[in-house]
Structure 1
């Protein structure tokens, strides 16, 4: 029989990409996590993880085990929840900004769903401005989205620099006016980019507008123009343009905004999980 403690260490190492960070997350010693992995590999007679100078990655056998390990831990969580008094139940409507979804949301939600299997999450993905409008209308309980510097709306999760990105910066910078790829209004990154260009007298034209980050990324990878994104969320295949070539962009802040009248226990539980997970990922 597989040991759930060993499986939990295995899944956490895969999440964090590091034995050290996994140990911190689990509240265990690094040697204990290493022993869990070694014993799991011994019991299965397979090598599950490869270690290089940068991070730990799964082998093909590790990838085959991962989904089953998650399922087993999920079942354990459901059983514990069934016999645990005061466990959280109900529905929570979560709104998340488009760019955050593709980069960090899976890791953020995985532990929450496992720990609170009786909570039903209704997820809405949209631009930050749209999410705030929906929340004001009572359609979303908790928003995880961007705000501009100086805005005190919501609880700060972290601050992030915005950067200019392009497939071929030299080719794009030679174009006049500057071709831009942007979300439609209301978009925080779009507004910041246009204001920066306006202050410095840089002529621009929007060559592609799309409400989906995957669509904008495809346009940027095709070489159509310049895309603005938080630095840690820069899509692969794009290069950051040196700060001296285009105006410096103002930072953005990612925040959590609860709706008045929402289930406070559910909102607090998910907010705490998001804060812990995002900060642990950013310290990796």
Structure 2
């Protein structure tokens, strides 16, 4: 058997996250020459070229190198679990890297960061907030254990666990003519000014909902922040259609009151899910985070 160290595997497993050898070396706190030497040693052990190193064009992994990095990442993760598992008894300890979709992060991250460490003080919970694309890329690269994300238009190759139900709701100014209704039909909104939340999958949720009824929203403004949608609604400039979220107050960031109403018939009923690659096994710590999230948010929506 070739003499390959765990440190060499750890270094190579990190390479897909970087475009140049120097950037990888800086992140790994190792000299560029030492990293290059570690790669060369691995290539000699494997008997194949694992990456292409060009000064002008940066660092590119070969197909064999990509597969090797993925397997190395699993070995590192399994080794970490082995070390953490010995003699731990019932107490969970070690890291969990959790991703959270940006549009509802404000509504779930504070409760997770406040409550989970009290229940599992030995677990180091680290949060990354991002878009669908950023979270999926981080999951694929092994930079996240699991991500909280809308169960909408997700690619194959992932396992998921439902955290809480969610559906489109109408956000209105208190003086809006529809604000006194207990629920609102989408057709009654078609002629009203709409403040569109213009971020995937939110944009598609709204346009698809109207299209399914043969309607089209009258969009007067677009915003890429939920808080800005609510701020504009709070000023009476239009209504918003947003997915329901836990810990939501009917108030804009300027302190102006809002009215939140369900749609009847309901539209775009979905779930926020915990998502992880199908070829990865959730650690007991990551599972515990999802358990906690279901407990705290499962009744939301």
TM-score range, shorter chain: 0.5 to 0.7
* TM-score, L = length of structure 1: 0.55
Q: How does 1:71-86 map to 2 (within 5 A)?
A: 85-86=88-89
Indicate how the Cα distance of structure 1 residues 235 and 252 shifts in structure 2: closer, same or farther if over 3 A, else same: farther
Q: Which residues of 2 match residues 15-26 of structure 1 at below 5 A? A: none
**Corresponding position of 1:103:** 107
Matched ranges for 1:79-158 at <5 A: 85-86=88-89, 87-128=91-132, 130-148=134-152, 153-158=159-164
Contact 2:207 2:216 in 1 (8 A): no
Larger C-alpha radius of gyration, 1 or 2? 2
Answer yes or no: is 1:190 the counterpart of 2:206.
no
Q: How many residues align?
A: 194
Q: State the Cα deviation string for residues 16-35 of structure 1 (Å, max 9, x = none).
A: xxxxxxxxxxxxxxxxxxxx
Report the Cα distance in structure 2 between the residues aligned to 1:274 and 1:174, rounded to whole angstroms: 34
Contact (CA 8 Å) 2:98, 2:128: kept in 1 or not?
A: yes
Structure with more of its chain in helix, by fraction:
1
Contact 1:98 1:213 in 2 (8 A): no
One of 271, 290, 298 as aligned partner of 1:253 = 271
Q: Decide whether the 8 Å contact of 1:93 with 1:139 is kept in 2.
A: yes
Map of 1:31 onto structure 2: none
- For 1:179, the equivalent position in structure 2 comes to 194
SS of alignment partner, residue 170 of structure 1: coil
Residue 277 in structure 1 maps to residue 296 in structure 2: yes
Alpha-carbon deviations, 1:190-244, whole Å to 9, x = none? 211111112334333361221x332332232223332222345454122235746
**TM-score, scaled relative to structure 2:** 0.53
Aligned CA distance change for structure 1 residues 145 and 199 (closer, same or farther; 3 Å): same
